[in-house]
Chain A
């Protein structure tokens, strides 16, 4: 079964750091571009970041640029999001998502992990 499972969310104080992980299974992880998308409580989906298949190219939304770092370990079939200098407005469910090579859309999503930034 093709699956993405996020972990690492939790409660963190403003200015703190957190690292999210996304474990992939059921497909050749190293062949796909991967993304992080977040959703604040009661709000819409917002694209956060993406990384290409071999990890050599990344891109970020302006709202997280300089604070978040996306990375991957293809040997471990795992995607990461290192989040530093966290703000209250970063509070959201964070989803990892695969972009299907043929569909050029987010065809597989994880279940999401909740990040709460609060003192």
Chain B
């Protein structure tokens, strides 16, 4: 079965750039998307089709996907961006999620 691998945690200082990676076999041949989940809340889509932002998502969120790695980048990270982030792709009729990355803003 297809697997996506994320680092368990990433730390960033306020105002700096945070990068969260997601690795999978030939992931660049698929579309990757990213979800933000804050404690006690449902996930929110922040990036779809590798690099597109849904309406209402700040411009500081961006994405890329090439080779075996997709990357979520948050520029000018704010305290409100502290959350768990999950990558996701499609495989064999079902969804596949990465294990999630806890982003700490400190």
Contact = CB atoms under 8 A, between A and B. Distances in A.
Q: Is the interface of B mostly helix, strand, loop or mixed?
A: strand
Interface stretch (B10-18, B20-28, B69-77, B87-95): B87-95
Contacts of A47: 94-97
B48 A105 contact: yes
Contact of B43 (A35, A62, A109): A109
B67 interface: no
A103 B48 contact: yes
Interface residues of B, number: 25
A50 B93 contact: yes
Given A44-B100, A106-B35, A59 B45 contact: no
B52 A103 contact: yes
Contacts, number: 64
B45 A106 contact: yes
A95 B35 CA distance: 14
Contacts of B100: 44-45
A9 interface: no
Interface in A46-73: 46-47, 50, 59-62
B35 A45 contact: yes
A26 B79 CA distance: 32
7 contacts: A45-B43, A45-B88, A50-B94, A103-B33, A104-B31, A104-B90, A107-B48
Interface of A: 35, 37, 44-47, 50, 59-62, 95, 100, 103-107, 109-112
